[in-house]
Each structure stands twice: as structure tokens, then as C-alpha cells.
Structure 1
């Protein structure tokens, strides 16, 4: 359970860093690209075995890390487009509600426990995520022509979590978890830096030191958010549907708390109801997991 808590904490720190990007005018795309190489380096540093580069190509999970790295970049850009066209609330709900995909995968593919209390907890968690994600100050709604973007964010985000679960369960050994995580970020960095170089040549981007600092601040918690999530998924007594539900709800709650404490954000009645549902959902799922 400690890995699940640490995954929630690391993901919540990412939220805090992104909020600081706005405050200090940091170019998000540049910081994201730098973040990937920092996250990759963190994975290599955490890998306790000597890295045999010639053997790397033989790992059965390597193609999966390429796939995930591509998804990371694609979904990031789709989130940016969705935010610009439909607003922050829409992209927030689409991202967080995507947890239903890995939950359903765990229940169906792995035949995980589908007790009534657990299903009730999962449904409450989804309602909680939706209610907490709705912000008063962002009342934008997606036009019909823009609906494709939040739908793709929803599907892509869910596919990322589902793929991580499938790969770590089927192909990744215990000692290779840091290397597995590092290679996901390495692929994302290669793609991201290629796009960045193209934009620099075109003159649409300009390198600034503060963007690199922002990327470093983002990279370490980003690596550990994936690393600890994979560790939590490997826990013998925690099913993936439990891990993804508690992880998602926990991130929403901690991120909301950070918003209140550090950024003086105000919560609506719907937000408070969502927090209540979130707490209740965690209690229900914890009861099922305990017994």
C-alpha cells in the first residue's frame, strides 16, 4: 500500500509543478521534453543491475515501451488542443474519467473480484472524479466539431494505464521495473526533442533556461509516478481495479488540497460533494480488499 500512496504523492507533485509553470511563464512543451530525459535518467539511475545495451533489444517488453512513449507525446498534444478548444474542465474530466478503461480491463481480463461493495465504490469514485473536476471559473463546453479531442484524450489516457498494467504483469520482471519505466520516457524524449528541433528551425520556439529548470522539476516526480504505480500493481494483495481507482481518486483529492492550500482555490458545492463521494469510495474499496 505504501507504493500506492507514493504514486499518488508523486502524481500530485506533478500537478503542483504544472501550476507553477503558469505562475512563472514556463513553456510547457519545452519543459515536457526536458522532463522526459530527466525521468529516463532517473530510471537508469534506479536500475541496480549493469545495463547490457546489446541485450536490451531482446527484452519482450521493449516494443511496448515504444508504443507507450508515442502515446505519451500524442496524448500530451491532444490534451493541449482540448484545453485550447474546450477548456480545462473538459480535459480534466476526460483524463480522470479514463480510469474506467483499466478498471474494466482488470475486472474482465484478469477476472478480478467484482463484489457489490467494490462496484459501488468504483461508481462512486467515477462520480467523485467528475464532480471534483468541474470548476466554476471554467464553464466552457466543447462544440460538436471539437468533441473528437476529449474523446481521444479519454481513450488514450485509459489505454496508457491499461498497457502499463498488461506489460508489467505479462513481461516485466521485478528487477527490470526501473529499466522498463526509463525506456518509456526515452522514447517520449526522442519524439519530443525531434518536434522541438523542428520548431526551433522554424523559429516558433526559443530555448530558455527557466524551461529546462521546469523540466527537471517535473521529470523526477513524473518518473516516480510511473515507477510506484507499477510497484503498486505488482502487489500480491491489490487488484489492478483497486489500484487504479484509489490512485485516481487519491490524486484528485491531494491535487484539490494543494489547490486550496497553495493557490487559494475555491471549491463549489459540487466539488465538496465529490470529495465526500471520493472518501466513501475509498472506504468501500478498502473494506472489500481487506476481507
Structure 2
């Protein structure tokens, strides 16, 4: 349970950091690339496996880590595009509702239990995610559904792939090595994108991007490590864990927004938070 709580806290801190990126006008792409480099180095340092970098291609999880690394970079950019074209609320809803994907795969691939209580709890949780995230302001911009759909599917595929690779290929002793490696692949893909963009736009690399990237990379790394460790707890089915994790992030993010950024919450938002608590209780009991 402690790993799940830590995963929720570190994941929530990412939203706070991104909020400050906007406030301090940080180049998001540059900071994201630095963040992956920091997370990679942190993973290798934690596992004390710098001397084993040459063995990464022979690891049973290498292709999974490579695929996840590419997804990490891609979905970060899709998330940014969704926020810009459709709004932050839509991006949040699409990302959090992606919990449906690993739940479905958990039931199909691992024959996890399907009870009426779990179904009701999951439905309530999804409604709670929507109500907690929706804002009263109405945008006059009519954006398409392409990026929200890609974000929904991409985030779900990340969670599902992480569960599959962790279950079949990652041992308890390899969590840090695996986590650092997938961040390493993300850093490589991110650097290729950044170099291409810098070459085309002739932009300058900003020093504050390094500071911002370090601030983002540390909690980003631990959010993944603690999620993997939580997944290795056999007392939690993945469908239950992902539901609790995603809704928990919504609850904590809501509280942080209220206390730290004085955000306004509508009646819908308040009902959503209440339903989120109910959904977590039902899913956990189930």
C-alpha cells in the first residue's frame, strides 16, 4: 500500500511542476528531454548498474523498455497538443479515463475477477474522474477528437504494457535497472526529436530547462518505480490498482489545486471528489 501511495504523490507532483513550467515560461520540450536523462541516470545510480549498460540489449525486457520509452516521449507530446488544442480539462479527462484500458486487459489477459461490486466501483470511479476534472468555462474553439483519443489510448497502452512487461520479464531485483533503462530509451528518442527541432527552428537551449528538467525528472522516475513496485504486490489485482492509482491522483491533484493554486471548484467537481472516494472504497473492497 505504501508504494501505491508514494506513486500517487509523486505522480501528482508532476502536475504541480508542469503548472510552474507555465508560470516561469520554461521550454517544455527541452525540460522533458533533460527530465528523461535525469531519470535514466537516477535509475542506473539507484541500481548501481552503470557497469551493466552493455547488458541492456540482452535483457528479456529490452524490447518492452524500448517500446515504453518511445511511448513516454510520444504521449507527453500528445498530452501537450491535447491541452493546447482541446484544453487542459479535456487532456486530464482523457489521460485519467485511460484506466479503462488496463482494467479490460487485466480481465482478458490475467483472468482477473469481474464482480458486480468491482464493475460498479469502476464506473463510479470513471464518472468521478470526469466530474472532478470538468470545468465550467466553455471554450468557443471547436477542436477535433484526434488528440484526446490518442491520449486516451496511448496512456492506456502505457499502463497495460508496463503491467505485461513487469509481470513476465522484470524481477524484483531489476525494478531500478528496468526503470532506468526505459527512461534511457525515452531520453534517446527525446534527444533525436529535440536535435531535429533545434536544427529546423534554430532555437537556443535555455539554462533554466536543465533546472526544470532535473525538478521534473526526479519525481517522474520515482512515480514509475513505485508504481512498478505496487504492481508486484500480489494482494492487488492490476484492475484494482490502476483504478485506485488514477482516482487517487485526481483527489490529491484536486486538493493541491485548491490549497496551492486557489483553483475554483464547481458543484460538479465537489461531487466528483466525493464519488472518487466512494469508487476507491468499492473497488478496494471488491
Superposed pair shares fold, TM > 0.5: yes
> Once the two structures are superposed, what CA deviation does each residue of 1:4-53 show, in whole Å capped at 9, x if it has no partner?
00000100111111111111111111111100011111111111567423
Residue 58 of structure 2 aligns to a residue whose secondary structure is coil
Seen in structure 2, the aligned counterparts of structure 1 residues 234 and 199 have a Cα distance that, compared at 3 Å, is: same
Q: Hey, what does 2:46 align to over in structure 1?
A: 46
Q: Quick one: distance in 1 between partners of 2:176 and 2:118?
A: 31
Could you give the per-residue CA deviations for residues 188-233 of structure 1, whole angstroms, max 9, x where no partner exists? Answer: 1111112212222233532111111111000000001110000000
User: Unmatched 5+ residue regions in structure 1?
Assistant: none
The answer on whether the counterparts of 1:87 and 1:140 sit within 8 Å (CA) in structure 2 is: no
Match of 1:112, SS?
coil
Out of 168, 172, 175, the residue aligned to residue 174 of structure 1 is 172
Is the CA contact 1:196–1:205 (under 8 Å) kept in the aligned structure 2?
Answer: no
Distance 2:280 2:261 in 1: 26
CA positional deviation for 1:101: 0.1
Q: Deviations over 1:68-105 (max 9, x none)?
A: 11111111222222222221122111111111000111
Distance apart, 1:286 and its partner CA:
2.2
Would the alpha carbon gap of residues 76 and 50 (structure 1) be closer, same or farther in structure 2, given more than 3 Å must change?
Answer: closer
Written as runs of structure 1 = structure 2, the 5 A alignment for 1:62-73 is 62-73=62-73
Q: Is the 8 A contact 2:44 2:50 kept in 1?
A: no
Taking the aligned partners of 1:5 and 1:51, their CA distance within structure 2 comes to 32
Residues 1-12 of structure 1: pairs in structure 2 closer than 5 A: 1-12=1-12
Partner of residue 114, structure 1: 114
SS of match in other structure, 1:99: helix
Q: 1:101 to 1:127 in 2, by over 3 A?
A: same
1:217 aligns with 2:223: no
How much is the aligned-residue C-alpha RMSD, in angstroms?
Answer: 1.5
Does the CA contact (< 8 Å) of 1:68 and 1:184 recur in 2?
Answer: yes
1:189 aligns with 2:187: yes
Distance in 1 of aligned mates of 2:271 and 2:192: 44
Q: 1:154 to 1:256 in 2, by over 3 A?
A: same
**Secondary structure of the corresponding residue to residue 109 of structure 1:** helix
Aligned residues: 286
List, as ranges, runs of 4+ consecutive aligned residues in structure 1 with deviation greater than 6 Å.
none
Which residue in the other structure is 1:243 paired with?
241
- Deviation sequence 1:146-184 (CA, Å, 0-9, x none): 212211111111000000000000011111111111111
Aligned to 1:150: 148
Alignment of 1:1-291 (within 5 A): 1-48=1-48, 51-137=51-137, 139=139, 142-143=142-143, 146-288=144-286
1:111, distance to aligned residue in structure 2 (A): 1.1
Say if 2:49 and 2:177, in contact at 8 Å, map to a contact too. no
